[in-house]
């Protein structure tokens, strides 16, 4: 597949249950957690009354644009920041009064933060040595961690002699060997190149599933969040916008912000025609009446937008013959991506982006072609337009 040798495989197929937490533990609870930098009332609030309960063994990602408060939240869990108010607790034990070095957590850093003056083995052994572990046990534990992360061949090297991916595995081994109740990840993959990042995140996911360690992962990369998480916490301006499974966050975002931040979306003008019943309502959008799922805040009077992902847009030739699907549009541009073609189509409703996967050669539209624009069944999601304060 690529030029990785056996030793470069990310993880060895060793039974890693050694490092699993001893019992079902590692529940993390954040209650009204708030961080305010500065003291004046108009200073921005980095983290604003965040409530979150993370189940034992769950993988939760904090996702959001830079400055949304995700890193501050993580650092408060770790103890590197003191909350302005609110609580962090692990298994019901309040953590705010516990010094960061006494918390049952280990952190993996974006910059890896390996100790440059120590070898790989010494890096991994660092924390255990502080715990006064016996020399024999220390050796066993470190060997196991190195083996799991497939780092044995590099045990005596200095960090700067390793590649970025290897360094990150050392950082992970160093965190795992402490048997933390909670693993904290601060954008650990953002310094890796694209291919390695994908590989590494799959391995992190597999390892985490195997060990069942509660994990909190901070990232601004939605792909990472989607593929890694049991649940995603989308944050914006210090507040939580949505806590949901990756599937829900993508298909049924709670707000226009989330819809726009996760993936790409068309927002089409729409009018609500009937009161929602069982989460569905009739709307008029894209040239005809449709039956769509609606956000809970939508009612008959709501100003709304219909979210349609580009891959949910249906383009058909011969608009004259098509009265079912919707509106007539004109292709403005067609960009060939390989596995898909991306079109920009101009309609009476506005400009719409459509993504057609695996198109056959004869099906590719050209600019200025006339097409019929529709929506695949059950793909639309009606969102209320936020009322401007």
The residues that touch another protein, with contacts defined as CB under 8 A, are: 31, 36-40, 44, 46, 75, 78-87, 89, 92, 94, 96-97, 99-102, 105-107, 109-111, 113-118, 126-127, 130-131, 158, 160, 171, 174-175, 178, 184
- Least distance (Å) between residue 75 CB and another protein: 7
Structure tokens at 105: 């957590």
- Least distance (Å) between residue 130 CB and another protein: 5
Q: Which of 372, 296, 294, 362 is nearest to 329 (CA)?
A: 372
- Least distance (Å) between residue 77 CB and another protein: 11
- Least distance (Å) between residue 198 CB and another protein: 24
Q: Which of 56, 51, 16 is nearest to 33 (CA)?
A: 51
- Whichever of 115 and 336 has its CB closer to another protein, that residue is 115
Pairing outcome for strands 105-108 and 182-186: parallel
* Spatial separation of the C-alpha atoms in residues 254 and 252, rounded to whole Å: 6
Contact 235, 225 (CB under 8 A): no
- Whichever of 148 and 170 has its CB closer to another protein, that residue is 170
- Whichever of 90 and 308 has its CB closer to another protein, that residue is 90
- Whichever of 99 and 387 has its CB closer to another protein, that residue is 99
User: What is the enclosing helix (H) or strand (E) of 223?
Assistant: helix 222-228
- Least distance (Å) between residue 336 CB and another protein: 40
Distance, CA of 250 to chain centre: 11
Contact 59, 227 (CB under 8 A): no
* Residue 387 burial by Cβ neighbours in a 10 Å radius (0-12, 13-18, 19+): exposed
- Whichever of 184 and 331 has its CB closer to another protein, that residue is 184
- Whichever of 92 and 338 has its CB closer to another protein, that residue is 92
All residues at 6 or more sequence positions from 39 whose CB lies less than 8 Å from its CB, including other chains: none
- Least distance (Å) between residue 79 CB and another protein: 7
* Spatial separation of the C-alpha atoms in residues 60 and 73, rounded to whole Å: 13
**Mutual orientation of helices 120-130 and 164-176 as an angle, nearest 10°?**
20
- Least distance (Å) between residue 359 CB and another protein: 46
- Whichever of 174 and 201 has its CB closer to another protein, that residue is 174
Structure tokens at 206: 């597999």
Question: How is residue 388 annotated by DSSP?
Answer: P
- Least distance (Å) between residue 17 CB and another protein: 22
Contact 62, 74 (CB under 8 A): yes
- Whichever of 178 and 272 has its CB closer to another protein, that residue is 178
């Amino acid at each position: 597949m690529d030029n990785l040798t056996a030793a470069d495989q990310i993880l060895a197929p060793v039974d890693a249950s050694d490092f699993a937490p001893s019992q079902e533990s590692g529940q993390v609870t954040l209650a009204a957690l708030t961080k305010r930098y500065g003291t004046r009332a108009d200073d921005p609030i980095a983290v604003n009354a965040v409530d979150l309960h993370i189940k034992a063994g769950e993988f939760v990602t904090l996702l959001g644009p830079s400055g949304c408060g995700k890193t501050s939240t993580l650092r408060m869990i770790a103890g590197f920041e003191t909350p302005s108010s609110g609580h962090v607790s692990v298994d019901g034990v309040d953590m705010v009064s516990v010094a960061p070095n006494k918390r049952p957590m280990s952190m993996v850093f974006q910059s890896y933060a390996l100790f440059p003056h120590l070898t790989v083995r010494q890096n991994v052994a660092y924390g255990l040595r502080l715990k006064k572990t016996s020399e024999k046990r220390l050796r066993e534990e470190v060997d196991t961690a190195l083996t799991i992360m497939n780092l044995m061949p590099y045990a005596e090297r200095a960090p700067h002699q390793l590649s970025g991916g290897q360094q990150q595995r050392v950082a992970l081994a160093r965190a795992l060997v402490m048997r933390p109740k909670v693993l904290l990840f601060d954008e650990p993959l953002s310094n890796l190149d694209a291919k390695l990042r994908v590989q590494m995140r799959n391995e992190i996911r597999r390892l985490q599933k195997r060990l069942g360690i509660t994990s909190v992962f901070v990232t601004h990369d939605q792909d990472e969040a989607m593929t890694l998480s049991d649940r995603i916490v989308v944050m914006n301006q210090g507040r939580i916008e949505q806590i949901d499974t990756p599937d829900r966050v993508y298909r049924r975002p709670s707000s226009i912000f989330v819809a726009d931040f996760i993936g790409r979306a068309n927002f089409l003008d729409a009018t609500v025609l009937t009161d929602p019943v069982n989460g569905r309502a009739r709307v008029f959008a894209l040239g005809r009446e449709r039956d769509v799922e609606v956000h809970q805040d939508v009612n008959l009077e709501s100003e709304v937008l219909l979210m349609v992902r580009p891959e949910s847009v249906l383009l058909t030739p011969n608009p004259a013959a098509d009265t079912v699907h919707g509106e007539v549009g004109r292709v403005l541009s067609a960009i060939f991506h390989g596995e898909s073609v991306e079109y920009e189509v101009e309609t009476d409703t506005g400009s719409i982006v459509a993504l057609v996967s695996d198109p056959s050669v004869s099906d590719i539209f050209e600019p200025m072609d006339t097409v019929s624009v529709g929506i695949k069944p059950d793909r639309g999601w009606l969102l209320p337009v936020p009322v401007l304060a």
